Structure 1
């Protein structure tokens, strides 16, 4: 039997906002049913309109603030509220990070049944122009005078937002949105170019154009000319990520520095790297300071990627073992180690969501463990980590709910103490919570 679609009321509703969700939306209740109002703040009286209805909750967009909160500020970007690239510009950066800390504390208590012995000072940086990695939508719209839109998706919509500026993107790309629109508008496949992947390093950056049809020679010439004029590397992607190929220059090199540790890391545009270069440097420094490796220590770095923590740790420890599920990143890690003259590391490919009992790299014991899992967390590998009995574990997380869950496992099942925890503002003006936690064995 088909499920009956719930009618979305068209009439605006007035309500008082009672709280704030983990995603930064205001919460009210209508007929005892929670309604999440995008853009509303606790203590406000607002007018909103429903956009989606669910069995247990509804979603709405803000129409008007009737009585504002003293915490509300004027968003910097004129496209805020339409563009989905940001969700918290109506809060100051200080209030944003405060909210993220509250989210983490609540999740620790309710999902993990734990509380840190110490709260670390929030790690913050420049809140504007920080975004080095992004996926920009591209859409040719005849109804807008044959214009090509380049930007993030609209809020609660699959459509590309019509934006002329962006204050969170790195200026090397943000300042060229109009130029990119004109460039693509002049291509023969302007209606068949789906997105642009942004991947910027410290010195230079790359743009990957996802072309659904082959580029003509004139298209290639136009893209190459754009790259030469702007200094941005240009790639095409006619299929999946394995088809990414440079158009200009012939042998591009993307990289970023971790100067405190004398490390330079090269990466490919499809590789995972942190969105915020400045905050990544601060995060690596904090993680290694908290892990506190001694010169005689063996350190295990799980979900190590291309060596973002592994290689700096090798500057402090006797030996570091990096383990990662994606084989291309393992190869990149080995290349980065060789390029930086670091020979006290080893990289291994393994699915860390599967049973890794008996793997050789688990056999010789470790003194410290660093975990940097994806949003799904590290629950599957925690039994193996616990069997190694490291004196300290530092857990870097992009998913506060799974960090809280895993903290409960480490504390309540394996006897660790949650010594310290805190948030890091890797994604200012969004609801994304990056955090770090320290676990010690007595």
Structure 2
């Protein structure tokens, strides 16, 4: 195996160190900016190579001891070896670089980064499950870092909700006792404020004995148990009979109920902080009419409704829109309505798209909102708040808002929705 000594000069979008060896980029897992390292080439590609650290000769001042002993094997986290302040700085640098390179824009001011508790924050996710016959045991976890086809052999997770994170090994052991242990490919988890739920996907019907073991596990550990024999529509509770998943947005006295496979923001603490910043940037007034696109369950729509004359939320998934409307009624909000629409198709003739809106909220998936920006915002819209889970699509769309629609990029900043990962969540304010 070929070894080299080199210096790390940058970080990739997924948190690997970048070096240059013989004028070719080399991505080094686990390396940090400025470190002098000895590396071993693992895989060659046409435009870059991949390498692993053999020795850290000069460590970065930002290097810390990873809290989780599974860190180097599990793909769930990529930055536990970097101190939290440096993680935030790296993410802000990624956002700034994307704005300048892709959007050809720069915010007039940078918002202070939003952070919250860096451990036990993850309330939503999916475990892969695999029965390994040679070991006669079940593995439950995320994928391996170096071999994505394999499930990482973990016993606990430091970033998952504390009601579940320390119990991953116990969950694996329990599944290993089931008759259907070879027929359960995944377990999804979802945590509300008071209930943590597990959804067991099973490819064959479960025996009464297996169901009893699942119920016993739920009762012992205080977890709601759901079964999923087919598609999303087949998800149903096993125990208790009617579990309730919900979370509150306390500042606006709103509570949203959801189903275990619904999209919700992964980080509950950061969601509260993100809502507060969104309200600060949106500056909702009693006479405002607000359009909230990619609204999901109404995470932004319902709190905004507490402060404005009227708000409409638009979302592509029927089930989420139904539950958003139910949440509005449950919270006594009558100045809010919802529409179902595929926002990656041209909707410029939809009734909500032809109305006059004072302010616009965008919270798109990774693909961004460029299709929407072909016909919105209208001339009367004076303020846009854009919440992004991908800096590249935000930068592209910022360029559209500034150069096509005549907005200023007033401010922007990162939100650490996924600590210890290279994921960059951000928020930006545009004004006419």
TM above 0.5:
yes
Aligned 1:211-226 pairs, distance under 5 A: 211-226=202-217
SS at structure 2 position matched to 1:15: strand
Give, in whole Å, the separation in 2 of the partners of 1:69 and 1:229.
Answer: 44
Answering whether residue 87 of structure 2 is matched by residue 96 of structure 1, we say yes
Aligned 1:260-299 pairs, distance under 5 A: 260-299=251-290
Alpha-carbon offset, residue 137 of structure 1:
1.3
Give, in whole Å, the separation in 2 of the partners of 1:373 and 1:28.
Answer: 33
> 1:388-425, CA deviations, whole angstroms, 9 ceiling, x for partnerless residues?
53110000000000000000010011110000000000
Alignment partner, residue 107 of structure 1: 98
Alignment partner, residue 386 of structure 1: 377
Answering whether residue 350 of structure 2 is matched by residue 369 of structure 1, we say no
Give, in whole Å, the separation in 2 of the partners of 1:369 and 1:109.
Answer: 24
Alignment partner, residue 241 of structure 2: 250
Give, in whole Å, the separation in 2 of the partners of 1:22 and 1:136.
Answer: 23
Equivalent residue for 1:156, pick from 141, 146, 149: 146
**Higher mean C-alpha displacement, 279-288 vs 56-65:** 56-65
Give, in whole Å, the separation in 1 of the partners of 2:201 and 2:345.
Answer: 33
**Higher mean C-alpha displacement, 78-87 vs 428-437:** 78-87
Total equivalences in the alignment: 431
Alpha-carbon offset, residue 62 of structure 1:
2.5
**Higher mean C-alpha displacement, 307-316 vs 42-51:** 42-51
Equivalent residue for 1:318, pick from 309, 313, 329: 309
- Could you tell me which runs of 5 or more consecutive residues in structure 1 were left unpaired when the two chains were aligned: 1-9
Answering whether residue 229 of structure 2 is matched by residue 232 of structure 1, we say no
Give, in whole Å, the separation in 2 of the partners of 1:149 and 1:356.
Answer: 45
Alignment partner, residue 177 of structure 1: 168
Give, in whole Å, the separation in 1 of the partners of 2:209 and 2:41.
Answer: 47
Give, in whole Å, the separation in 1 of the partners of 2:38 and 2:151.
Answer: 26
Give, in whole Å, the separation in 1 of the partners of 2:216 and 2:239.
Answer: 9
TM-score by length of 1: 0.95
SS at structure 1 position matched to 2:378: helix
Alpha-carbon offset, residue 243 of structure 1:
1.6
SS at structure 1 position matched to 2:185: strand
SS at structure 2 position matched to 1:338: helix
Answering whether residue 414 of structure 2 is matched by residue 423 of structure 1, we say yes
Answering whether residue 37 of structure 2 is matched by residue 24 of structure 1, we say no
Alpha-carbon offset, residue 361 of structure 1:
1.3
Aligned 1:400-411 pairs, distance under 5 A: 400-411=391-402
- Could you tell me which runs of 5 or more consecutive residues in structure 2 were left unpaired when the two chains were aligned: none
Equivalent residue for 1:42, pick from 13, 22, 33: 33
Give, in whole Å, the separation in 2 of the partners of 1:47 and 1:218.
Answer: 54
Answering whether residue 124 of structure 2 is matched by residue 126 of structure 1, we say no
Whether the aligned pair in 1 keeps the contact of 2:8 and 2:32 (CA below 8 Å) is yes
Moved over 6 A (4+): none
Alpha-carbon offset, residue 385 of structure 1:
1.6
CA separation of 1:213/1:47 partners in 2, compared to 1, >3 Å: closer, same or farther? farther
RMSD between superposed Cα atoms in Å: 1.2
Alignment partner, residue 126 of structure 2: 135
Whether the aligned pair in 1 keeps the contact of 2:66 and 2:80 (CA below 8 Å) is yes
